Amino acid sequence: LSCSAGRARRMLALMRGGPKGEGAPLAWRTAAICTADQRGRVGVNNSVSTIKYKLSAFKPWFPYAIIEQFRRAANVYYLVISVAMIIGESAPQLWVTPYASWSTSGVLVFVLILTALKEGYEDLRRYRSDRAENNAKVLARAPQKGPLLCKDLRVGDLVVLRDRQVLPADAVLLTSSAANGVAYVDTANIDGETNLKLREPPLEVAHALGSSEDAAVVGTISFEPPSRHIHNFSGSLKMRDGVEHPLTASSLLLRGSVLRNVEFALAVVVYTGSETKVAMNSTETPSKMSLVERTINASLGAIMVPYLIFTTVSAAIATTSTVQTPYLEDSGGTAVIIPAFLSFWVTFFILYCFLIPISLYVTIEVVNLLQAWLITQDTEMYDPKTNTPAVVRSSNLCQELGQLQYIFSDKTGTLTANEMVLRFLSLGGIDLVSSLPAAPTDTMANQEDEAVGGMPLFVPANDSPVKGGSHHADVPVSAGATALKNNSVPLENLLRLAAGRPGGVSNAPRDSFAGLSFSESPETLRARSAAELLAVCHTVLPQMLHGRLEYQGESPDEVALVEAAASVGYRLIRREGDEVVVAVGAAAASAPEAGQGGKCPAGCEELSVRVLAVNQFNSTRKRMSCLVKYPDGSHVLYCKGADTNMFPLLEPRSTAGPEAQLANDHLRAYAREGLRTLVLAKRALSSSQASEWLAKFKAASVARTDRDGQLSEAAASVEQNLVLVGLTAIEDKLQDGVPQTLEYLRRGGLKIWVLTGDKVETAVNIGFSSKLLTTEMTLLYVGASPDGDDTLVVTKETLREQLRELTAHYADQILAQLPHLLKSTTDGTLTDANREALADRLTEAPKPSLSGMSALFGRAHAVNRSLASLWSPFGAPRSGKAAEVEATTLALIVDGNALALVFEDEGLKEALLHLGRVCASVLACRVSPKQKAQVVELVRQGVKPEPLTLAIGDGANDVAMIQSAHIGIGISGKEGMQAVQNADFAIGQFRFLRRLLLVHGRSNYRRMSLLVCYMFYKNVLDRFCQYALTSESGWSAQKYYSEVVTQLFNVIYTSLTIIFVAVADEDVPRFVAERVPVLYRAGVRQAVYTHALFWSWVLEGACVSVAYFLGLKYLYATADSVAGSTLEVWSLGIVAQVTITIMVNLRLMLDVTHWTAAIVAIFLLTFVVFLGSLALYSGIYFSFWKEWWGVPEHVLLSGPFCLFFFWAMAVGLLPKFIRETVGGFFPSEERLALDTVRAQRPPKSPSKLPSLLRRVGGPHGDAKRREA
C-alpha cells in the first residue's frame, strides 16, 4: 500500500509539474524534528515492497502470472486448440475431436503452471528480501531513544548510525564523531562508485550539537518534495535560535549507502519508503525482444497460411465426399446443430494442430539460458584486475550478438582506461612536461581550400578540390609533438618556479630544494598560483589506507591533478571541514611514511587555507570554482574548466599578447595528442567583494525556488575577469587491446560510431591511436574544424550547404551502397546534374506540416514502411548493399553543436544519416548524453530495414544510449555501475567485445537459426504425412498417431538433440572465429537465417513427407499385403512415426559440424530412449497408448518395414545432399570463407594460428583472398 501511495504521489507530482518538471513547483514540506505529537504527518511509512504481484495493485500472483503467458502467440494458439478439443469431447454433435483434450491442454497447463511457479518463486524471494529489510532494527530517537524497526521510521525521526551501517532512509546529516561533524559514505550500492564521498552538515549546526549522539535537537526541517534526482537536494534547517541553515546534496545521506570512517553519525530522516531517491529511480529495464523472436512470431503467422489452407481443403472434400462411413455415425442419433463444413473444419483444424511445434518456445528458452551460461563461464572474458566475469542480464538476446550492424561506443572509460595522468602543464608559455614518448617522425598534412559559410574546407590528397569539410589523414599524430618535446622542461620545476629560484627553470633532474631563495617575479607568482590551485581547488579527500595516504575523488581528473601537485611538493595532507592543509616542500614530493597520517613532513611548510564556498561542476557550466581565504586575510577565487567555457571569462590581458598565443598553441598541441585539457584561472577579491558575494551565495543556497538556477547565477557573477594561470593536459590511456578490437570489428563489417564529449582534435587523435581512423581514410568534417578552431559559428544554412557539397562530391560512394536513392535516368549513368539533384533532395529544408488527407496519406506511407521493415526480419535477407558491409575509405567527424541543429531539421538528419552510412567510422565530438541517445535513434529510425545496433559505455551518462540500442553493454569501470545495471550484457574490458561478438554472437546466431528451421522442419514432415494419410481414410479426420507418442516426439525424441547441438556445436574453433573476422559478415547481412532458408526447410519437410506417403501406399502396403499381413491404421501410424523420428535425428546429425562427447552421448541416449519406449508400448498395456499396445513388435520386426526403413532414410537425406551440392556450385560469401579456412586445416591450438592467418589472407595478401 505504501508503494501504491508513493506512486500516486509521484504521478501527482508529474501532473502538477514536480520540482524538476514543467509548471508550478510543488510546495516544500516541513516536518518537526523528533516530536511525538507531529510524528507521521509528513511522508509515507518506510516499508519497501518490490514484489511484482500484489492484491493492492489488482495483480494477484497466480491469475496474473497465467495471463502474462498469453503474450506469446503459440500459447494463445494452443489455448484455442484445447478449448476446441474440450468442446468436441463434451458436445460431439458440434464436431469430433481426433485427439484427446489432455494431449494439448495437459501440456499447456503444465507449461503455464510451471512458468507461474517460477514467477511466484522469484516473487517470494523478493518478498523475503523486503521483509528482512523492513524488519531490520535501527537505533532511533522517535522521540525516545531505542531500537526501532526500519519500516516504522517516519520523516522527522532522528537516527543514530554506526560505522559500516547501511542507511535505512534518506536523511540529512546533523553531526558525527568526526571534526566539524562530517561523515564519509560508500555509495557503491547505489552507483557502483567505490570512492568514498564526503558529507558535511551545516557547520553552525554541527558546532552547536557537538560530537554527541544524544545532543538535544529542537527545530524544524523544510525540504523539497521527493524527486528522482540523486545528486540534487534543497532544504533548510531551522533550530531553536530561529536561524535558517541551507541544506544541499552534500548533506544528504541516501538510503542504501554505507557510513564509513566515523564512530557514529546523527541524522534526521527526510524521505522514507517509496519516496526515497533510490526507490524513485528503481525503474524496470526496457523490455527488448530479439530479432529471432520477432522472426518466430512472423514465421508462426506465415505457417498458419498452409495450415488453414489444408484445413479448409480437407473440410470441403469431407463435406462433399460420397464415401459411406456408417460406422462413424453417432449411435445416439444426435443431429449436428452446426453446418457440416464448419464441423469438419474444426475437426481438421484440431487434427493438424501439431504443425506448430508446441515445444518451440520452451526449447528456445533453454538454449538461451545455456548459451548465456557459456558466455559467463568463458575465462577469456574474465578480467582479473577487477575480478569481473562476463554477465548476461538478457539471455534472449544472445543470438542477437551475431547480427549487429552498428556499434555506438563511448570513449572515456570505454575505449580508454579512465586512468588519468597529468602529461603537460603550460605556464606563461613555458610547457612543463611530465613524461612524453618519442615523437613520431611524420606530420599531418592539411591542405586548406575554399570555405563554405565561413567554415574551413580541406581536400583529399591527389584529388580535386571539394566544396565541403573533408581532410585526408596521412599520419595519426600531430605536428606539435616534436615542438612540445623540444620546448618542454621537467614538471618537477614547478616547485622551483613556485619557490622563485633565481634563473628560472632548469632542465636538470630533480635535486634538493633546500636553500631556495624566494622572489616575487611574475613567473614565480604564476607557478605558485598554479601549484596552489591544483592542491586546493577540488573536492578530493585524503585518506590513510593500509598505511598510505591516498586520495578519493568523484572525478579521476581531479585526483590526477592533486596527485601531480603532490608529486612536485604540494601535497594535500588534511581536509577538515572548510580547512584544507597542504604540505609544501621537497620532502612532500615523496609519499608520507606509514603512521605519519596528516602531519606535515619535516623540512616542509604547512599551508592552511579556508574554502569559503564551492561552485560545483555541472555539464552546463563545465567548470568549478572555489573561494579561498588565506591566513593573511586575502581572498582568491580559483577556477578550472573546459577551454570553450573558460576563455570567454578571462580578462582581456589574458586573451591577447604572445603568452596568450603560446597558450593557444599549447592547447591545440595537447588536443592533437589526444589529451584532455583544462584551463586554470584565478581572481583576487577584496574583503568587501568576498563578503558581498558570499551573502549572495548563501541567499541562493537557501532559496526554495530554482535554487540551482540562483546558484548558477551567483557563480557566474564572480567567475569573470579571470586571470589566466595555466593549462593542464591529462592523458587517459587506451585500454589493452582496443586498437586490435576496433580493427577486427571493422573488418567484420560493423560500422563503428564513437560518441564522446571531448573536443574534435582530442577525439580525432584518440581515433587514430585506437585504429578507429586509419591513414587511408578521408576525414569528412561536419560542423567541426580539423585545426581545432572552436570559434566557428555554425548555423542551419551553413550546415545545410556543407552537407550538400559533401553529398554531391561523394555521391558515387553513397549510391554504390544506397542505390535506391538514385531516381531513374535516361541513360542509367550518374551525371553531375544527378549528383547535384541528389544533394539538393537529401538536404532540402523540411516542408510545412501536412494537414487533412495529405497528412493521412503521409502517415499511411510511414506505416507502410514500418510494416515492410517488420516483414523483412521474417527472413528476407538484407542485400550486401543495404547491409553496408563494404569497406570504405571515408570517416565522418561531426560536432555536438552541429548535431543539435541536425536534430531540429529533417532534411539535415537525412543528409547526415546517408553520409554516415557510407563511412567506415563516425566520430561525434562534444555530444551530451541526450545527443548520444538521439544518434542511436537516428540510425534505428532512419535506416530501412531497421539495423541491429549495439551501444557500449561505462558511465551513468551512457545509460540513455545503452537503453536506446537493441543491445546495451556496460563496462565495469571507474564511473560507477549504472551502465552495467541498465545493460543487457556486462564485460570488464572493451577488448572482450571482440570475443563476445565474433565468437559467441556468431555461433549463437548460426545455431539458433538451425534450431528454428529444424523445429519447423520436423513438425511439417510429421503433420504433412498425417494430412496425406487422411486422404486414404475417406477424409474422416482419422488420426494415425497416438497422443502420447506425438507429445514425446516434440518434447523428448527430437528436442534434446537440437538443444545440445544449438549450445555446443562449433563450425570453426573459437580462436579461429575470433581471429578471422570476415566470418562475421554473414551475420551483419543477416544472411544466416533468411526467408529463403526457412521456406527451403519447410519445403524439404513437405516433399519428404509426400514421398513417405507414396512409399507407405505403394511400397510398404503392397509388400505387407504380399507377406500376408493385414494392413490397418495403427500399423501405418507406427511405421510413419518411427521412420520420421529416426530420420529427422539423422538429418540433424548431418548439420553437426563439430562432434563432441556430449553431442554423441545425447544422440545415443535419444535413440536408446526412443527404442526403449517402443518396447514399452508394445509390451505393457496402458490406456494412454492402448492403440499401440502390441503393434510395434508385430510391425517393426517385419521384413517389409526393414526394406521401407532403409529406402525412407535414403529419400529423407537426399535433399540435404542436393542442398550441399547446389551450394557448392553457388556458394555464399560465408561458405567461401568457411571453405577457405577449413581447407587450410585450422590448427588445434591458437599457437599455430598465425600461419593459418597468412594462408587465409594476411595484411600483405591479395584482395580477393583477404575477402575470402
Cα 1179 to Cα 708: distance, rounded to the nearest angstrom: 83
The alpha carbon torsion through 867, 872, 874, 880 (nearest 10 deg) reads -170
Cα 934 to Cα 949: distance, rounded to the nearest angstrom: 13
Cα 497 to Cα 432: distance, rounded to the nearest angstrom: 11
Q: Are 807 and 915 in contact (CB under 8 A)?
A: yes
Backbone φ/ψ region at 1196: left (φ over 0), alpha (ψ -120 to 50), beta: alpha
Residue 1055 gets which letter from DSSP? T
Based on the residue annotation, tell me whether 410 is a catalytic residue of this protein.
yes
Cα 526 to Cα 531: distance, rounded to the nearest angstrom: 9
Handedness of CA 276, 278, 280, 282 (dihedral sign): negative
Report which of 43, 6, 47 is spatially closest to residue 130, judged by C-alpha positions.
47
Q: Are 321 and 1034 in contact (CB under 8 A)?
A: yes
Cα 1175 to Cα 475: distance, rounded to the nearest angstrom: 75
* DSSP strand pairing (416-427 vs 430-433): antiparallel
Residue 1023 in grid coordinates: 503433420
Q: Are 1167 and 1175 in contact (CB under 8 A)?
A: no
Residue 732 in grid coordinates: 587517459
H helical segments located in 850-928: 852-871, 880-883, 896-902, 906-917
The secondary structure element, H or E, covering residue 639 is strand 635-641
Cα 1014 to Cα 1089: distance, rounded to the nearest angstrom: 12
Report which of 991, 1032, 1186, 1016 is spatially closest to residue 1101, judged by C-alpha positions.
1016
* DSSP strand pairing (158-162 vs 137-141): antiparallel
Cα 159 to Cα 165: distance, rounded to the nearest angstrom: 11
Cα 272 to Cα 252: distance, rounded to the nearest angstrom: 13
Residue 513 in grid coordinates: 630544494
Residue 236 gets which letter from DSSP? E
Cα 1027 to Cα 941: distance, rounded to the nearest angstrom: 44
Burial annotation 341-363 (CB, 10 A radius, 16+ → b, else e): eebbbbbbbbbbbbbbbbbbbbb
Q: Which of these is catalytic: 152, 157, 410, 1067?
A: 410
Can you give 136-181 as a three-state secondary structure string? CEEEEECCCEEEEEHHHCCCCCEEEEECCCECCCEEEEEEECCHHH
Alpha carbon separation from 1171 to 687, 787, 956, 1053, 1216 (Å, rounded): 97, 76, 57, 10, 25
Q: Are 990 and 964 in contact (CB under 8 A)?
A: no
Interhelix angle 707-718/687-701, nearest 10 degrees: 170
* DSSP strand pairing (890-895 vs 778-782): parallel
Residue 985 gets which letter from DSSP? E
H helical segments located in 617-706: 643-646, 658-672, 687-701
Cα 898 to Cα 894: distance, rounded to the nearest angstrom: 7
Question: What's the first-to-final CA gap in the chain, in angstroms?
Answer: 63
Kindly give, in sequence order, each residue whose CB lies less than 8 Å from that of residue 611, ignoring residues fewer than 6 positions away.
536, 578, 579, 580, 626, 627, 628
Active site residues: 410
